[in-house]
Amino acid sequence: MAEETILESTQRTSGREALRKNVQAAIALAGAVRSTLGPKGLDKLLVDDQGRTLVTNDGVTVLETARVEHPVAKMIISASSTQDRVARDGTTTTVVICAEMLRNAWQLVRQGVHPATIARGFAQAEQFSLDALGELVIEANVEQIQAAIETSLAGKLDQAMEKHLAKLSLEAGELILSNGRADPTRVKVIKQSGGSMLDTTLITGLALAKSRIHPEMKERGGPGSILILDGGLERRQPHLDTKLNITSAGMLDAFRKAESKSLLSQVDNLVEIGCNMLVCKEGVDEEARQALANHGILTYRRVEKKDLDLLSRSCGANLVPDAGRATKQDLGAFIKTREELRGGINHWILDAEDSGATLIARGSTDGVIDEVERCFADGLGVACQLLEEPVLLPGAGATQVALGRRLRRHAESVPGREQMAIEAWADALESIPRALATNAGYDGIDSLLKLTAAHSLEGDFIGLDLIDGEPKDTISRGVFEPLKITKQAISGATEAAISILRIDDVLWAQMDAQVPDEAQEMLQGFGAE
């Protein structure tokens, strides 16, 4: 009676019923993205409440865009988002494996196996699989790295564009590789409508859609020094409403001359400290513009703050608020600068020691360009991983089947009911080759059986060829997946599944009806009368 009083505003589900509903939510979530898996996966059309559309093959984009209210579904989406942030690929794989683990766990619970026992078995299977991956790794060369990037993009765009983006991703990764580390944030993306996706290009250096402020300034030059101004060279505007009381005819001229002198003194300071290029966040006055041109200081204005930060990092320059107080220590260095016309738009391109690269994404519509940008980001993330750690695994379901066979042999040596959980975990892992086959139009179970038989005869590097549905060698076909992606997918899916298995009570607080403020005021007014 006391419990009912305490929880009178809460809907409670406990025991097996709570687990059943949680498993149903996970299976429904996986069903929403399963058909996007693999090179033969299909796209999803997402429509928001304002009628805007988005067509994508990216599982995490589908899940993060959709409105999901169930807390368990949100837990799995969080695991998928972590997979995307850490590994840039394998987001759909994480969701599918997690849902299959929970589906198999539910069958064991119905047979009388306690969820805690299943969780222990899952944890053992995860650790065994992570250790066993070392037996399947391949030391990758450059051609295999590019093939792995193409595999990660398979099914997201047409084949020609996948190859093109994979090539650009690898080139960008090599440009930003420094001391064994590659930072994807050093690659800038510029979107341009018009043309084909294949018109997408990569520029060495930092490119901005800008032109020099004066035609007399040289558009090419270098090496030299650069100053980055977090402001502008303009006549100062009063911050408050003020009035100037002009009592004589010469006062206004004197006031303007003082402003001009202030501007020119700032330009003189730039000349004195040896500045060859000036980049401003805000505008440049006409008088200062001419003075800068006379002194040969190449100048660009109205550059966004994020681009100023990129320039600062690339050139080693400090952001200064006032050109008049800038010092030699605030200057950075650039190697060369140039302007080029690309796609009918003038681009200023700067090469510096750490300038990285710039991708100009092209496409017929804004939606296509956005998808190109997302795919390039995924390809670049995979490229950076493999350049830092060039280790691959066989793709096309080969790794999952190889791990499944090892897990079943390992389960025979495990006494107790954890053995059943390990076998259920192995079944969940093999849901990936089943889904790949189904999305390609083949029977998932038949394809998995053929692939398992081929592994017993020909070894661990046999995967499913989705062209004819037959098991074939993955190395000769160039179908790989990065080790980091598989590790993260296994860990993320298992941890999410164990967390959900340990839930045996779900308490839903019933929300009171919300009354808009305007209506509340009207009701209070009626009460006062």
Q: Measure the CA–CA gap between 163 and 169, rounded to whole angstroms.
A: 10
DSSP string, 285-304: -HHHHHHHHHTT-EEE----
Pairing of strands 357-363, 201-204: antiparallel
Q: Is the pLDDT of residue 19 over 60?
A: yes
Record the pTM.
0.78
pLDDT band at 523 (very low <50, low <70, confident <90, very high): very low
DSSP class of residue 442?
S
Which of the following is catalytic: 56, 58, 82, 94?
Answer: 58
Cβ atoms of 224 and 277 within 8 Å: the answer is yes
Classify each residue of 497-528 as buried b or exposed e, where b means 16 or more C-beta atoms within 10 Å of its C-beta.
bbebbebeebeeeeeeeeeeeeeeeeeeeeee
β-strand 470-473 against 277-280: which pairing, if any?
unpaired
Amino acid letter, 305? K
Residue 170 pLDDT > 50, yes or no? Answer: yes
460 SS3 class: coil
Catalytic residue among 36, 61, 82, 92: 92
Tell me: the pLDDT tens digits for 192-235?
888 888 888 888 888 888 888 888 888 777 788 999 988 888 76
**Tell me: the pLDDT tens digits for 116-146?**
999 999 999 999 999 999 899 989 888 889 9
514 vs 520: CA distance, rounded Å: 10
378 is catalytic: yes
Please tell me the class of the 2-138+393-508 domain: mainly alpha
Q: In the predicted model, what is the mean pLDDT of residues 472-488?
A: 89
Query: Is the pLDDT assigned to residue 491 strictly greater than 90?
Result: yes
Which of 138, 107, 18 has its CA nearest to residue 71?
18
CATH superfamily of 141-205+358-389: TCP-1-like chaperonin intermediate domain (3.30.260.10)
In the CATH scheme, what is the code of domain 207-355?
3.50.7.10
* Annotated catalytic residue 92: yes
Active-site entry in 89, 330, 378, 427: 378
Instruction: Give the per-residue pLDDT at 249.
Output: 61
**Residues 441/41, Cβ–Cβ less than 8 Å:** no
Higher-confidence position of 238 and 418? 418
Contact between residue 373 and residue 337 where contact means Cβ atoms under 8 Å apart: no
The active-site residue, picked from 56, 61, 82, 91, is: 91
Domains 141-205+358-389 and 207-355 share a fold: no
**Cα Rg, the chain, nearest whole Å:** 30
For 351, phi and psi rounded to 5 degrees? -105, 125
Contact 30, 95 (CB under 8 A): yes
pLDDT of residue 400: 94
Round the average pLDDT of the chain to a whole number and report it.
84
Q: Where are the domains of the chain?
A: 2-138+393-508, 141-205+358-389, 207-355
88 or 177, which is more confident?
177
Confidence of residue 453 (pLDDT cuts 50, 70, 90): very high
